[in-house]
Chains A and B, each alone.
Chain A
């Protein structure tokens, strides 16, 4: 069992599914969908198994699999998983079967599903790579399926949105590629070239060098997160993408940015991360406030959710750069929570669009009367996004805020208002869409169907469970976060302020 390369399977199973789907005859759409569903469910099974088998007392990378790939350049197929990536893998595993089963591309099912599965393979690969080159390969390759998903199955402005998304991210990656190569070349000294994360983390860079390198990485991740002011691709891409694309984009793909900042930025260049923290904290807080205000002003429901992502991701960045055990743990939690709630929100907005063919808030009215179950589910998901206690959003945001208060007091004070603003824009939107008397156009709005309920139920379950009992997650995340902070303390003069008890 130890030797079974389970992490490699995370990449291979969806890829094989994608190839099978692409090779299958177009005349049997139900088989195509079944294969896609099976391979994504199999991946989900693998990720559940990894979560169960994960040793929570071990802060190091587990299930490591290591093979030489491109020897002359010191590149290896090095995969591993720790508390920071564990739940991102689970999140990816959970969301893809739901998207495959629950969203309808309306045309060219085969190609749509094929791209979806390739996307899953790429995302899984990004979260488990421990080799900088390998990470870059996955980080970059996910652009291709996502580009085609947006450009092929999106709404009216899809080509513009897809191109903008592709080019923005690629500009960031351009800097990161040079950064990755420079990191490896500078770190090697007279030794052999290696791109292995764990080896490179042992290297000591001169302060200036480290800062340059850190920024080369950080630009790529900042575009991906997105951190204000590099966020302008996000509202377009999210709004124009098909529902399935938006769900994955918001729930999983944005996390590549925050995950990358933690795993590569802070881990490889702790000094530079400490040195530039005021910049990141400020941008994070601006993102929180700006995202919230922009969301309040939106007329399009999907755009509103998209801007809310800018705000929520700001909390994660705040947590990462506040650099206390609670704040980073909260940030990692928030990665997952935002994925679940925003993923569910995009699914719900997609369902509204399928029924009414509009996303305009002003076109919708009084849906609560005609679709009470739909409204109820929307309410729960929305409250979790706001961060109401008892639901998952609260756990992450609360941890981020109390953790950040120790080291970044004034930033936290401003950020806290973001929680109130979140309540403002979401409740206001809810009020306009669901309250009141339905007009003629909305009177025939059908309530939640069984299939839709089956897709949303797991997400609502996660929302409530995590909100009430986050301990299993925290137990697995915290050791790895603490180890990261120890690593930062070893490399810099940073001393974490007195830790408080984490589990609430």
Chain B
């Protein structure tokens, strides 16, 4: 089509609106190119450079948010990306995660003697992919973002050259991720086949014109189903979660926290966009599926987490259960898909993602420290006596675990409250009760870690273990994460208002 039109002119580009992505891209290029040409940079510099670019991108988002508030939302690069508050919240969450994870990674890589620019460049590239996923207004663009992010993840997961588990994790993730991408792409093809476009706005227009006719078209229903499979894999929803524990356990701990935060945020953002904004006509068809997946995800995640003995696996399953909670927000949002009053579902899901990202990075920061050299000491016993030897770290971990369990006055409670409220607003009482009971089951797992830290007596095997060291930058990341968790627990109002803006200024 383009080739046939000699008068084709490229779309006008609002470069400033793309600046967060451009900053990250520039930084990634600098790391890759300059990093490989010049000798090793002084210590901390790779990480601080990465964190600085993440912070710069985040600050730019606030200016852009201001523009959106003044001028209203719009689309970028010829309708390919949406430029709205939703995108900004996603971008801020992702860049924030980049900053925190860069701090933790710095100490981790130097302890493991793997320091170098590669992982940081991959972080930035993955973040770009994630941001594109969260702001995509076109299924093809979404797919590009997904692949950029996923390929970076595959490499990151296997980046610990000295650990065989890390290689295994990368390969597993790569093969299964490839499958899920294929499903996803097939879903895109089917939607395109029905509607003649991959652009969200045109998909909606097309259905507005034809919906009664295609109501029971198996083609489009299969397309929607395949899209859910593809996205369900990335958000670690049951029954597409089987890769999660192995990959999370094997990947270097900071990378795990990056995948659990950025990966999930991007995939959920994409899921919300696709299901709620591109396919509102099919909400009554996919809602029961989302309902079932959400219930399965919270229950299976919580129950499986309890029977683990490795803390990284526990947290992998607990992250599945948290994904289930976000799915509840998606389910609530699905009730209102396509309506002017978007309800509470989308803001609740956004709030949950943001708060969970910070929580999970803090939690894994402690795991990274306790993992000791070699990143192998992540069983429950490795946490024994942490309350005696490092009371402050143990206290921080306790706060984060209580927050994950949803105890009040922490951000975790605010997040849970928001999604449960969203569900109850849509009269989904059953899902709300199942989720809360599942969260009690999950609480048992957090208690087990706390008992290990505070109560269990040290055993003779512990003497031979290397002592836990608390490096400065990891400590800073942990402090930020705990501070945020408590601050939001006490004063969540501003953040609730901010996430509400994602649906009110559309």
Judging by beta carbons under 8 Å apart, are A71 and B451 in contact?
no
Residues in B whose Cβ lies below 8 Å from that of A71: 493
Q: Closest residue of chain A to B438, judged by CB?
A: A174
Min CB–CB distance A124 → chain B (angstroms) = 15
Minimum C-beta distance from A373 to chain B (A)? 37
Tell me which residues across on chain A come within 8 A of B413, comparing CB atoms: 137, 140
- Verify if A454 is at the interface (C-beta below 8 Å from B): no
Given contacts A178-B432, A185-B421, contact A72 B408 (CB under 8 A): no
A152 touches B496 (CB 8 A): no
Q: What is the minimal beta-carbon distance from B294 to any residue of chain A, in angstroms?
A: 15
Please measure, in the bound complex, the distance between the C-alpha atom of A158 and the C-alpha atom of B444, giving whole angstroms.
Answer: 15
Residues of chain B lying within 8 A (CB to CB) of residue A117: none
Q: Which residues of A contact B493 (CB under 8 A)?
A: 69-72
Q: Is B150 an interface residue (CB 8 A)?
A: no
Mask of B410-451 contacts with A, CB within 8 angstroms, 1/0: 000100010011001100010011001101100110010001
Q: Which of B420, B444, B496 contacts A178, CB < 8 Å?
A: B420
Given A166-B443, A174-B439, A151 and B420 contact (CB-CB distance below 8 Å)? no
Residue of A71, A72, A143, A166 most packed against chain B (CB within 10 A): A72
Q: Which of B409, B436, B447, B451 is close to A174, meaning CB atoms less than 8 Å apart?
A: B436
Asked whether B407 lies within 8 Å of A151 as measured between CB atoms, the reply is: no
Interface string of B159-191 (1 = CB under 8 A from A): 000000000000000000000000000000000
Q: Are A182 and B443 in contact (CB under 8 A)?
A: no
Q: Judge whether A167 is part of the interface by a CB distance below 8 angstroms.
A: yes
Q: Tell me if B341 is interfacial: C-beta within 8 Å of chain A.
A: no
Q: Which residues of the partner chain A approach B421 to less than 8 Å between Cβ atoms?
A: 73, 181, 185
Query: B441: shortest Cβ distance to chain A, in Å?
Result: 8
Question: Please, which residues of chain A bring their CB within 8 A of the CB of B73?
Answer: none
Contact indicator B408/A170 (Cβ below 8 Å) = no
Cross-chain contact B408 with A137 (CB below 8 angstroms):
yes
Minimal Cβ-Cβ distance residue in B for A186: B424
Q: How far is the CB of A123 from chain B (nearest CB, A)?
A: 14
* B409 and A137 form a contact (CB under 8 A): yes
Given A73-B496, A167-B440, A178-B429, also A159-B409 (CB < 8 A): no
The interface residues of chain A lying within 8 Å CB-to-CB of B407 are 140-141, 143-144
Asked if A178 and B433 sit within 8 Å, CB to CB, the answer is yes
B402 within 8 A of A: yes
B273 within 8 A of A: no
Is B484 an interface position by the 8 A CB rule? no
Name the B residues within 8 Å of A181 (CB-CB): 417, 420-421, 424, 432
Q: Mark B398-410, 1 if CB is under 8 A from A, else 0.
A: 0000100001110
Out of A137, A144, A163, A178, which one reaches B436, CB within 8 Å? A178
B70 at the interface (CB under 8 A from A): no
For A136, what are the chain B residues with a Cβ–Cβ distance below 8 Å? 408
B264 CB-CB contact with A under 8 Å: no
A144 surroundings in chain B (CB, below 8 A): 402, 407
Return A173 CB to nearest CB of chain B, in Å: 8
Q: Is A171 an interface residue (CB 8 A)?
A: yes
Are A151 and B437 neighbours in the complex by a CB distance under 8 Å?
no
CB closest chain-B residue, reference A175 = B433
A72 surroundings in chain B (CB, below 8 A): 493, 496-497, 500
CA distance A72 to B498 in the complex (A): 11
Give the chain A neighbours of B402 by CB distance below 8 A.
144
Nearest chain A CB to B466 CB, angstrom units: 26
CB distance from A272 to the nearest CB of B (A): 16
* B425→A185 contact, CB < 8 A: yes
A276 to B420 CA separation, bound complex (whole angstroms): 27
Q: Is A177 interfacial (CB-CB < 8 Å)?
A: yes
Nearest A residue to B441 by beta-carbon distance?
A167
Assembled-state Cα–Cα distance A32/B417 (Å): 37
Instruction: Check A214 for interface membership: any CB of B closer than 8 A.
Output: no
Chain A nearest CB: distance from B457 CB in Å? 11
Q: How far is the CA of A151 from the CA of B451 in the complex (A)?
A: 8
Whether a CB of chain B sits under 8 angstroms from the CB of A233 is no
Residues of A within 8 A of B437 (CB): 171, 174-175
Interface string of A157-191 (1 = CB under 8 A from B): 01100010011001100110110011001000000
Mask, A70-89, CB within 8 Å of B = 1, is 11110000000000000000
Q: Is residue A147 contacting chain B, with contact meaning CB distance below 8 A?
A: yes
Q: Does B286 contact A (CB under 8 A)?
A: no
Q: Is the CB of B496 within 8 A of A163?
A: no
A152–B496 Cα distance when bound, in Å, is 37
What residues of A have a CB within 8 angstroms of the CB of B338 in the complex? none
**B491 to chain A: closest CB distance in Å?**
8
Question: CA A191 – CA B343 in complex, angstroms?
Answer: 15
Q: How many Å lie between the Cα of A136 and that of B440 in the bound state?
A: 15
Decide: A163 and B433 in contact? CB cutoff 8 A.
no
| Contact partner, A175, options B424, B436, B455, Cβ 8 Å | B436
Contact B447 A182 (CB under 8 A): no
Find chain A residues with CB under 8 A from B439 CB: 174
Contacts of A175 in B (CB 8 A): 433, 436-437
Counting chain B CB atoms within 10 Å of each CB, the highest count among A141, A144, A170, A185 belongs to A170
When distances are taken between beta carbons in the complex, the residues of chain A under 8 Å from B420 are 177-178, 181
Note all chain B residues with C-beta closer than 8 A to A69.
493
A148 lies within 8 A of chain B by Cβ: yes
Interfacial chain B residues near A141, Cβ < 8 Å: 407-409
Query: B454 near A: Cβ within 8 Å?
Result: yes
User: Least Cβ distance of A121 to chain B in Å?
Assistant: 11
A329 CB, nearest partner CB in chain B, Å? 32
Residue pair B443, A177 in contact (C-beta under 8 Å): no
Known: A141-B407, A151-B455, A185-B424. A174 touches B440 (CB 8 A): yes
Q: Given A177-B436, A178-B436, check contact A170 B443 (CB 8 Å).
A: yes
Chain B residue numbers with a CB within 8 Å of A140 are 407-408, 413
Instruction: Give the CA-CA distance A170 to B424 in the complex, in Å.
Output: 19
Besides A144-B407, A178-B429, 9 other A-B contacts (C-beta < 8 A):
A72-B497, A170-B440, A170-B443, A171-B440, A174-B433, A178-B432, A178-B436, A181-B424, A185-B425
Q: Can you show 11 pairs from A to B with CB atoms below 8 A apart?
A: A70-B492, A141-B408, A147-B447, A148-B454, A159-B455, A170-B443, A171-B437, A177-B417, A178-B433, A182-B429, A185-B421
Give 5 closest A-B pairs by Cβ, nearest first: A174-B436, A137-B408, A170-B440, A178-B432, A72-B496
